[in-house]
């Protein structure tokens, strides 16, 4: 139901096979003369005006894929200047927080996976994760949003303790090579003034009342009494000054002193509970990455409270099937496994706040997958309760992602966020920092959903707790230990299913750009539907309907999941940023 009956299976041509590295990459920015120098190293994967242009970047020394071309370029310049992948991704992340402030920034937090290449031929790589997720302030309690649920999304009470600056600094302290100030400086300059990009220009009018009538916002987004448009200059002068302080003083300049004073004051003015002790007591978590295998690959990703364990669970299930081609049966299996993944996700929470972590630890195991496998039926789908979700989990939103690799095979995959678009909509005018609304990712006690599932008590807010996240910054290696792929995405609850589908697309012979650009499916149990990009093959969608799926076809250009990835094949690096957010990767 809902599938157009007379529509072409593809709106746009897609690659069916990977390009050979020897194939000359074509220029495809006809009429865009200002991009010619860049595009000589790029190949568009689509040319139809219905889609934004997409590019496959080919490089020999390193590559960065972020959701904004400026930030990819900044990361690659760091590589050219002798920096490594960690340096590059730190610089790109600071940049993204400046220009795509609606998705991420230093007022938020995130997660990072880092691959340290072998130090000598007989050694193995080491893969670590950094958890710099926002935490609930010390005055938080489980019922704080029961009377006013909207206060978890808007205003000072929605603000969690930011972790991004400390997380980036910890990554630099452990693995960075260039001076910290070198990584922050490009964003200091950028914040002084740049042209509004298409993605920002699209979002400013969505919040016209905020931008025009709140002086904290209007001075930046409507400086002359009208909303800024694409191509006009935007300035975040106070943020530039704040970044200068962080460049000189590191995370201490953020978590103590005038910056801390200012953001705490602003959050409290807007009804929040953020305190100096919250900032002073914040800490990041560094662990060995969660490890799994998928066919002939090693998979490294982040631990709970992310959805990394769920991603591995889904790969553990799909590898049991012969998935040599994309057909109706295999795509049905893909969706069924996604639904079992979302059921498993209802068990995820901050492991520090439960008596036993068994319910989380088992999710990524082959043994747990074996208990699910027999329940995957090839002839039909099932109602949500069949997949045994334990609790109702709130849908999360937003985020930004970057992936990077350098000439030595060090790789990094980093997802950062302020949660909803423009976070809590609290902008501190003194520091220029937009504060997150990550508290909305916690569950709130209340009533069951329409299907009888109650909110997860494991994900209720508590002091110092990290909320559930759909992120899963991931790195794959070949079984011989060599680097293969760094991948991750943004888009809330669509993130890990989209990473899962990109990995499958690579197995179906697509290059990394085509694997990202290909249409996607999404079924998270509730609502009762498969949400399909309108470029997905219609014959397959019809097949899903025959197996009982309720298919809803949506515009591929809507705000949904966005994937950035870098990979290695035959000694060449390939990088791609998702055209769904007008991203362009870079390499050299």
The response to whether 419 counts as a known ligand-binding position is yes
- Spatial neighbors of 121 by CB under 8 A, at least 6 apart, are none
Contact 284, 132 (CB under 8 A): yes
The response to whether 470 counts as a known ligand-binding position is yes
Question: Distance (Å, rounded) from C-alpha 263 to C-alpha 256?
Answer: 11
Question: Distance (Å, rounded) from C-alpha 459 to C-alpha 150?
Answer: 18
The response to whether 418 counts as a known ligand-binding position is yes
The response to whether 417 counts as a known ligand-binding position is yes
| Long-range pairs for 363-368: beta carbons < 8 A, 24 or more residues apart | 363/309, 363/310, 363/312, 363/313, 364/290, 364/292, 364/308, 364/309, 364/312, 364/313, 364/316, 365/316, 366/316, 368/313, 368/316
Question: Distance (Å, rounded) from C-alpha 574 to C-alpha 411?
Answer: 13
The response to whether 469 counts as a known ligand-binding position is yes
The response to whether 395 counts as a known ligand-binding position is no
E strand or H helix at 98, and its extent?
Answer: helix 85-99
Question: Distance (Å, rounded) from C-alpha 504 to C-alpha 33?
Answer: 36
The response to whether 242 counts as a known ligand-binding position is no
What three-state secondary structure class fits 123?
A: coil
Pairing of strands 551-554, 530-533: parallel
Active site residue 45: no
Give Cα separations from 394 to 252, 470, 493 (angstroms). Answer: 34, 11, 9
Of 43, 399, 415, 431, catalytic: 399
Query: Omega into 563 within 30° of 0, i.e. cis?
Result: no
Residues with a known catalytic role: 399
Residue list, annotated binding site for L-glutamate:
133, 417-419, 441, 469-470, 492
């Amino acid at each position: 139901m809902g599938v157009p009956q007379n529509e072409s299976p593809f709106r746009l041509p897609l690659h069916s096979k990977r390009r050979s590295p020897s194939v000359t990459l074509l220029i495809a920015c006809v009429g865009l003369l200002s991009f010619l120098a860049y595009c000589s190293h790029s190949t568009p994967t689509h040319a139809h005006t219905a889609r934004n242009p997409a590019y496959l970047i080919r490089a020999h020394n390193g590559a960065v894929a972020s959701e904004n071309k400026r930030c990819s370029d900044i990361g690659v310049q760091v590589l050219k200047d002798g920096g490594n992948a960690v340096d590059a991704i730190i610089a790109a992340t600071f940049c993204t927080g400046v220009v795509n402030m609606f998705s991420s920034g230093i007022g938020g937090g995130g997660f990072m996976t880092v691959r340290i290449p072998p130090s000598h031929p007989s050694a193995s790589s080491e893969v670590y994760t950094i958890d710099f997720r926002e935490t609930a302030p010390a005055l938080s309690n489980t019922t704080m949003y029961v009377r006013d649920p909207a206060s978890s999304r808007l205003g000072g009470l929605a603000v969690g303790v930011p972790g991004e600056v400390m997380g980036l600094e910890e990554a630099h302290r452990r693995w960075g090579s260039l001076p910290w100030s070198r990584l922050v400086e490009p964003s200091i300059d950028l914040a002084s003034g740049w042209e509004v990009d298409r993605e920002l220009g699209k979002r400013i009018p969505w919040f016209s009342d905020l931008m025009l009538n709140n002086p904290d916002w209007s001075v930046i987004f409507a400086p002359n009494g009208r909303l800024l448009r694409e191509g006009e200059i935007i300035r975040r002068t106070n943020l530039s000054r704040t970044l200068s302080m962080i460049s000189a003083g590191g995370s201490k300049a953020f978590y103590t002193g005038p910056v801390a004073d200012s953001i705490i004051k602003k959050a409290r003015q807007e009804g929040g509970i953020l305190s100096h002790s919250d900032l002073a007591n914040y800490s990041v978590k560094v662990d060995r990455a969660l490890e799994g295998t998928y066919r002939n690959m090693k998979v490294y990703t982040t631990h709970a409270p992310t959805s990394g364990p769920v991603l591995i669970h889904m790969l553990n299930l799909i590898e049991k099937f012969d998935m040599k081609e994309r057909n109706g049966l295999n795509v049905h299996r893909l969706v069924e496994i996604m639904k079992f993944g979302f059921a498993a996700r209802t068990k995820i929470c901050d492991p520090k706040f439960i008596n036993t972590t068994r319910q989380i630890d088992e999710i990524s195991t082959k043994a747990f997958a074996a208990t699910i496998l027999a329940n995957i039926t090839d002839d039909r789908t099932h109602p949500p309760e069949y997949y045994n979700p334990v609790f109702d989990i709130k849908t999360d939103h937003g985020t930004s992602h970057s992936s990077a690799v350098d000439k030595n095979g060090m790789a990094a995959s980093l997802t950062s966020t302020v949660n909803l678009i423009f976070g809590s909509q609290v902008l501190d005018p003194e520091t220029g920092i937009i504060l997150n609304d990550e508290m909305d990712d916690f569950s709130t006690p209340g009533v069951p959903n329409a299907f009888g599932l109650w909110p997860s008590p494991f994900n209720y807010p508590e002091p110092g707790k990290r909320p559930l996240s759909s992120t899963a910054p991931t790195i794959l290696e070949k079984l011989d230990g060599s680097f293969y792929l760094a991948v991750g995405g943004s888009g809330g609850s669509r993130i890990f299913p989209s990473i899962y589908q990109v990995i499958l697309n690579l197995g179906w012979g697509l290059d990394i750009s085509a694997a990202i650009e290909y249409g996607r499916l999404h079924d998270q149990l509730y609502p009762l539907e498969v949400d399909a990009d309108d470029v997905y093959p219609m014959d397959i969608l019809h097949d899903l309907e025959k197996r009982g799926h309720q298919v809803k076809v949506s515009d591929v250009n809507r705000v949904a999941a966005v994937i950035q990835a870098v990979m290695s094949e035959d000694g060449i690096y390939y990088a791609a940023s998702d055209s769904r957010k007008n991203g362009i990767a870079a390499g050299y």
